[in-house]
Structure formats: C-alpha cells, structure tokens
Structure 1
Amino acid sequence: MTPEFSRIERLDTIGGEDRPVTVSADEAERAALARRFGLIAVDRLEADFAIRREAGGIAARGRVRAAVVQACAVTGAPLPAAVDEPVDLRFVEPARAGEEELELAGDALDTIEIEGGGIDLGEAAAETMALALDPFPRSPDAAAVLKQAGVLSEEEAGAFGALAGLKAKLEGKA
C-alpha cells in the first residue's frame, strides 16, 4: 500500500555528501493524512532533510513542520496544534535470514527499513508529525466539562483525595 504522502528518493541518487531535500504535502495528501491520523485537519506539512549515504544505511537529518487541527479528547472542540520537530533518521537494509541483528544504543537514531529501491521521506515526515502530537489534547474548558459530568480530577481520585473525603465525612459527624 502506498502511503498518502509519499516522496521517494532513489538509493542510486544518494551519495556521501549531504543533499538537501524539501517535501511538502498538497491539499489532497493533507486531507488523507488527517483521516488516517484522526485529525480534524492538516493545514500544512513540510520537511527539510539533508540526506547522505553513511556506513550502515542512509542518514536523513532535518526538521518537520506542520499545522494541524486536533479534536479535544473531552469536548471534541477543534484545537490548533503546531509541530516543529527535529528529525534524525537512519534508513537501513532489512535483515536477511541468518544475518545478525544490530543492537542499538538507547541514544541511537530512529531506524526505518528500506523498502524497494528508495527511502520515503514523505512517510517519514508524516509519521514524525503524528508522533509529535499530543495523543489526548484538551481544550481550556475540558476540566470544567469533566467536573460538571462528575468526573474526579487526578487529585480528587488519588490516595490523598480519598483521605480528604474521609476526613470531611468524619468532621461532619463529629
């Protein structure tokens, strides 16, 4: 399946020196990405990369910028959100049967397997955008709406919140 926002850079065009690549999603691609990631809208998605061949794969470093509209997790109200994320990726050949897998340190680059004869910088930008977004965005009035619905806040529901409720009951009976 081809991703909604695909920008393939062929492996045979990537050398040992940094090559700048800019990708930008058009209106139809942004609408499809909004559906895929459950967003109200993706108003802008673009990325600037410097790509180069390195030992062990292809490095892609740069920045992803986006403007999206998410739905408040409580009220459903539209919430604008901005993404401005640094990117440091390594595209690697898939491990073949019998080959030893590489163990990466915790601070290693994010790795993506190379599929076919190229790397997909559009999909890398789209995934970076999605991962940078708040998974449970809340509008300024979300706490009031939850309280009105009888949902306890974290402080009220925690251990000390229960003790405060018990204390209030005991004081009321004294």
Structure 2
Amino acid sequence: MSDTPEYSYIVDLRQISDAPLVLEPDADARRRLAGRFAITAIDAARAQVKLTADGPVVRADGRLTAAIIQACAISGEDFPVKIDEPLHLRFVPETQIAAEPDEEIELSADDCDEIPYTGLTFDLGEAVAQSLALAIDPFAEGPLADKARAEHNLAGDEASGPFAALAALRGKE
C-alpha cells in the first residue's frame, strides 16, 4: 500500500489568507478515491473551505458536496447518492496533541476532528477525502432493496428466527 494519498492539497501555514479555498479532485483522483472507499464511482466532489489560523492551530470550516455511485447494501445494484456535509476540522501541530503511549486521554467533541501535522504544511486534500469517506453510508439501500428482500426471503419473517420460539410462548401461562 502506498503512502501517497489519492488526493492531496498541501497548505502552507505561511500562505493562509482570508480567501476561501475550493478543492475539486480531478477524474483520476476521484477514480482512485472510489477504489479506496470501495464504491463504484465518484462523479463529482467539491469542498469549499475557509481557513482560520490561531497561531499554529488552523481551523478549516466549510462544506463538502459529492455525487457518488454505490452498491445497495441489500440488492447489490448501483444507485446514485448525493452527499452534502458541513466540514469542521482542526489542524494541530503534532507536538500539541502527543500523548504517552499508555496514557489514557479524554476526547471532547472538538478533539474528534483534530488532525496532527508536522512542519509548516498540512494536507487539506487528504482531510477532505477522509471526510468524504466518513459521509458515505456503507449500509445505504437503493430503490431495489425491497424487491431484493422479497425475492431472497430477507423480509424478516416473524414466524422464524432465534426469537420465534420465545414469541410463541408469550401469553401462555
């Protein structure tokens, strides 16, 4: 496995400005990301992000939109999915979040999206790609899910299964 991300957008701390950044992976990067995320395709992906530096800590706030094709968790048929998610990330120098290997740490809601970096640069593209991966529902059901359940007897028949015997005993005393 390569250490090179499928989509990279390096930000230099010395170049951060008030202008929003727009990240749009090209067709090749989208194809590679789709393979990494085990989905059929990423037809479009776009993130608009505003960076705010507070010393070495950088906040990235914005919006991620994407149009993907993924397989239905029930039928296996491909279907289109639209993603529209807010982005709230914090890039923090690795030295500020380093913990001892066996040290127990408490995480607040703000800590969950902290991304460590070293030096004067961080990869906003990889962070956006990871945000896209987290926005994909691995159990998404397409329009043919109910039909596939019926055809393959996956409708959850209440008369069978591990709790059928217990259900039959209900009310008998």
TM-score by length of 2: 0.79
- Cα distance in 1 for partners of 2:157, 2:83 equals 28
Identity of aligned residues (%): 39
Once the two structures are TM-superposed, the CA of residue 112 in structure 1 deviates from its matched residue by 0.6
**Aligned length, in residue pairs:** 163
Structure 2 matches for 1:84-103, cutoff 5 A?
Answer: 84-95=84-95, 103=106
- Cα distance in 2 for partners of 1:7, 1:124 equals 9
Once the two structures are TM-superposed, the CA of residue 154 in structure 1 deviates from its matched residue by 8.3
- Cα distance in 1 for partners of 2:59, 2:123 equals 12
The residue number in structure 2 matching 1:64 is: 64
The residue number in structure 2 matching 1:137 is: 140
Q: Would you say the 8 A contact 1:147–1:153 is kept in 2?
A: no
1:114 aligns with 2:117: yes
Partner-residue secondary structure (3-state), 2:45: strand
The residue number in structure 1 matching 2:78 is: 78
- Cα distance in 1 for partners of 2:165, 2:145 equals 23
Amino acid at match of 1:50: K
The residue number in structure 2 matching 1:13 is: 15
- Cα distance in 2 for partners of 1:154, 1:122 equals 46
Once the two structures are TM-superposed, the CA of residue 108 in structure 1 deviates from its matched residue by 4.6
Partner-residue secondary structure (3-state), 1:145: helix
How large is the RMSD of aligned CA atoms in angstroms? 2.9
- Cα distance in 2 for partners of 1:113, 1:150 equals 48
